[in-house]
Structure 1
Amino acid sequence: MKGPLLLLGGIALFGLLDANSKLLSGAYPVGQVVAMRYLVLLPAFFALRGLYPGFGGTFRTARPWLHALRAAAMMLSAGSFFLGFRHLALAEGYLVFFTSPFLILAMAALTLGERVPAAAWAWCLVGFGGVLLAVAPKLGGGGSLAGYGWLMLGTLAFSVTQTVNRQLKGEAGLAMLVVGPALLGLVLFGPLAIRDWVAPPPLDLAMLMLNGLIAGSASVLTALAYRHADAARLGPLGYAAMPVSGLLDLAFWGRLPDLPTLLGASVIIFACVMSERVRQRAAAAQGISGGKRCAPSAPSGSGTTSRTALSGRSP
């Protein structure tokens, strides 16, 4: 149970990160909030590296341009999710985010040449239908439309990150995956933070700094989870983000998900599960027809799963 418990802890922390950012979004600009996250995360990483020499592994890489693309996508995702949650409840935002498996499926087919069964594409359409089911009744207000737009952009950027993660699966260590995006975050959002700086009272300053610690802790917990269990076991637990977001909406804003949100979430989650089952069956059939067993899921502690966990969002 160690792997599932670690993953659930990471998901809960990612939910807290989004809730904390939403609480700050009404008074502070995006540049200040995101820059403060990395301003805290970088010293925390190097403090751990000082306490545990070699923590995070090497900074050398054979694919610097892929790391640059990953870092840029992470920055777009971080800013977009912050701006999106300014307009929407957490549960509604996660509804859009849950379309990421379908986007990753399409990107893997286009950029990595992976074969996708026709039935999996059909379930993708069903999943996006679930989004429309939940979103359509709420598109009357401009704020909602802007929120959904930002979250769709953030989800697209997150999906790019995940696709790049799969291309970086052969590299060891976490240092480049943490420090590279953090440095880019300071370069991009630091000037915006200086330009638009709002002097925070002590409590708000603590909340701004807490964002960096929560983000780093959530990523580490999620990475550790995959060292104790494989992706097949942990993957479905990612949907725990939906009840977590609902509970946070209730706790901080006294808001419960409405019926369209619940119905849309049910359709999306069901479509994701069915799409993955279709892919697994197709892979199994291909392995049998080729006279060999299918390749197993990434082993515990592998680079593939660790990089997925450190993408900056919940699985």
Structure 2
Amino acid sequence: MRNETRGTLELTLAMVLSGTLGVFVVESGARPFEVVFFRCLFGALALGLYALVRGYFAGHGFTARSLGLALLGGVFIVFNWVFLFEAYAAASISLATVVYHTQPFFLVLLGALFLRERIPAGKLGWLAVAFAGLVLVSGVRPGDTGSLAGLGYALAAAVLYALATFVTKRITGVRPHLIALVQVTAGVPLLLPLTDFGALSGLGAGWGWLAGLGIVHTGLMYVLMYAAYAKLPTPKIAVLAFTYPAVAMVVDWAVYGHHIGLVQALGVPLIVLAGLRVTLGRGAAPAPRTAARVPAAASRAATRAG
């Protein structure tokens, strides 16, 4: 099988898994803080075992600076998950996922704010298109506090993931699997004081869903993504990444009967199109093939994964 074909299959499978994330969160029956704590715990065990078997710890490449950046990115990622899962409960998986995909626009704004990168007029135009799509997709009314809260949580999650991506892009010479391992491991002590273990006593089958979030949606999914990133050009990664929200919307409808209205549906292609234009506008060079350079290329597309 050709490398690019295999990468396409790997990334498509990873994005399909991402699309089922919301069901695992909701079906676990746990609060977002507990869900994220155990996603980090089980995910760290899964990624740690994979890295150990593959021998990635030898010559890991971390310096004090890169380890600090990875930990900071971990803080952003952990609380991004908390806000995203809160959005699932306050609104719906479909709404939260689509709004969450405004991440690339916040990344552009962060570059302008902290790196003084100039935003071309064309990009500003696509940001305006994305904002129009966001207004349509939200479908919220001033008195609809639930949807407004869900929209706010999803936007907060998008900002936090953009911050995580912004920080992670500055790490070089370290395998992405190890960066992800550091980031999810950081979530364990970070969320330990905020986790109500007493509320988990009657969780029952919910433990299976929590384990799935860590093993499948963190361990397996990230391994598949990073394997694919090394085989695919950036434009293809950007396009395939939108499999995630598409699957999430279908799953939300099939499992919970949630669907977005006609006016909201009009906003989805605006966000998708603007997201593609902004993402590809940052450079359409092929994804680097070396492990040391993968994080920089992958981080742009990884903003799509839950």
TM bin (shorter chain): 0.7 to 0.9
**Residue in structure 2 matched with residue 96 of structure 1 by the alignment:** 99
Unaligned runs of 5+ in 1: 284-294
Alpha-carbon distance in structure 2 between the residues aligned to 1:273 and 1:43: 34
Secondary structure of the 2:56 match is: coil
Alpha-carbon distance in structure 1 between the residues aligned to 2:259 and 2:59: 43
**Residue in structure 1 matched with residue 111 of structure 2 by the alignment:** 108
Paired AA for residue 171 in structure 1: G
Give the 5 Å matches for 1:19-30: 19-24=23-28, 27-30=29-32
> Are positions 1:2 and 2:10 aligned together?
no
Distance 1:270 1:303, change over 3 A: closer
Distance 1:28 1:174, change over 3 A: same
**Residue in structure 2 matched with residue 304 of structure 1 by the alignment:** 296
Distance 1:49 1:117, change over 3 A: closer
Verify the 8 A CA contact 1:223 1:309 in the aligned structure 2: no
Verify the 8 A CA contact 1:10 1:222 in the aligned structure 2: yes
**Pairing partner for 1:132 from 123, 132, 135:** 135
TM-score using structure 2 length? 0.87
**Residue in structure 2 matched with residue 52 of structure 1 by the alignment:** 54
Q: Deviations over 1:219-246 (max 9, x none)?
A: 1111111111111222122222232012
**Residue in structure 2 matched with residue 262 of structure 1 by the alignment:** 265
Secondary structure of the 2:23 match is: helix
TM-score using structure 1 length? 0.85
**Residue in structure 2 matched with residue 203 of structure 1 by the alignment:** 205
Distance 1:56 1:193, change over 3 A: farther
Aligned-CA RMSD value = 2.5
Alpha-carbon distance in structure 2 between the residues aligned to 1:56 and 1:126: 47
Alpha-carbon distance in structure 2 between the residues aligned to 1:246 and 1:297: 30
Paired AA for residue 93 in structure 2: L
> Are positions 1:18 and 2:22 aligned together?
yes
> Is the deviation greater in 205-214 or in 178-187?
178-187
The percent of aligned pairs where both chains have the same amino acid is 23
Verify the 8 A CA contact 1:220 1:310 in the aligned structure 2: no
Alpha-carbon distance in structure 2 between the residues aligned to 1:276 and 1:33: 30
Paired AA for residue 191 in structure 2: F
Alpha-carbon distance in structure 2 between the residues aligned to 1:115 and 1:57: 37
**How many pairs are equivalent?**
297
Paired AA for residue 12 in structure 2: L
> Are positions 1:145 and 2:148 aligned together?
yes
Find the structure with the greater CA-based Rg. 1
Paired AA for residue 262 in structure 1: A
